[in-house]
Chain A
Amino acid sequence: MIYFILISVLLLLMIAASVYSIVQKDLLYAVMATGIISLILSILYYLLQAPDVALTEAAIGVALTTIIFVITIRNTVRMEDESDKKEKFKSAVK
């Protein structure tokens, strides 16, 4: 029973973090939310007795992917802006 509650809470947290990362306009916060998704996912893998996958998820999903996204945001734009996106698209098409 306690496992059921724990896993449900973790899954709800995952859903909340994914919705947040979609809605959020500030891409840095969105990337942090995806990192939180990976963290919860690795805890879930551990609870479901797959420690190998949990280690992989923790190392790659939480640390490496997040940092690479952060570096990308640093080198491009931080705020997601619709008008900016349209302009970029136009300039890319030209």
Chain B
Amino acid sequence: MKTSLMSKAKILCAALAVMAPWGGTASASGEVNLYSERQPFLMDPLLKAFTAQSGIKVNMVYIKKGMLERIDAEGANSPADLILTTGFGNLNNLLQAGLLQSVGSSALSANIASQYRHPDGLWFGLTTRARIIFTHKDRVKPGEVTSYEDLAAPHMKGRVCTRSGKHEYNISLLASIIAAKGEAAAEAWAKGVKENLARKPQGNDRAQVKAIFQGECDVSLGNTYYMGLMQTNEKDPEQKEWAATVNVVFPNQKDRGTHVNVSGAAVTKSSKNKENAIKLIEFLTGDMAQKIYAQDNFEYPVKAGVAASPVVASWGTFEADKVLLSSVAEKRTLATRIMDRVRFDN
């Protein structure tokens, strides 16, 4: 009798464990609530390490489209304390919507270089990534492609691959060109690149390198970490071959520098666990987490003194575009309209 009661109790416990999320929103002390654009599979190891170190439980919703609208609709009662974004664009949207609050700590100021955080602590960069050009090792001669502008040059006709012009990474790049050279020049550039495309924009950054490998095109745009992920992909070793056929080119080293974007974090205006939220940002910009970002996802750490992964380091160093992230962000709408005008994706 006793054993069957015990096993019943066990089943009940298991059922309750499964049912746990069916309850309401948790907001007890010792917690921090996170709305994240970054995928759970990426964040879980970091968040587990944080909980192990601090004892603070992290609750997370992975939500990309509609995060801003959700925080806005929930208003002052929103349970979200902290948001994580994949790029600066959405960080800026939340900022403009007045949904963030200014926080700060000496640790944060020490961890993050000043160009990668808001002067009043409204947002913090966690990692950076560069938008680079992949060139085929043989079919593209050294020096043939050294800048974003080269992608629009006549000699690249039928040789360029990229993902959708409407993807936030390409919008952000075009916005940086508007910021540097003005609307007309940026539109001419977008038009030039479109005319040089080997195929209709499609797939993600990785798929473009695959296309170079397969001979569909010679050059493509991509974010740096994709190269690292391909070069070390043990589950799908074919990707190592794709990566091996291309060189990494950091564009515009002779003028304004390579376009760089940040993944970031910010504390919401309605945060009820502000102290814990700050602790989590401190942790994510601390040595241990920065090393995990660098080693596992091949991103550039924002903290000085944390080394990039050896894989990333092997591509060499580069000069980043010095333009303010906010100046790029405010050109995003215009960039999207330019992509419409030149019908980039069609």
Report whether chain A binds chain B: no
| Residues in chain B within 8 A of chain A (CB atoms) | none
| Residues in chain A within 8 A of chain B (CB atoms) | none
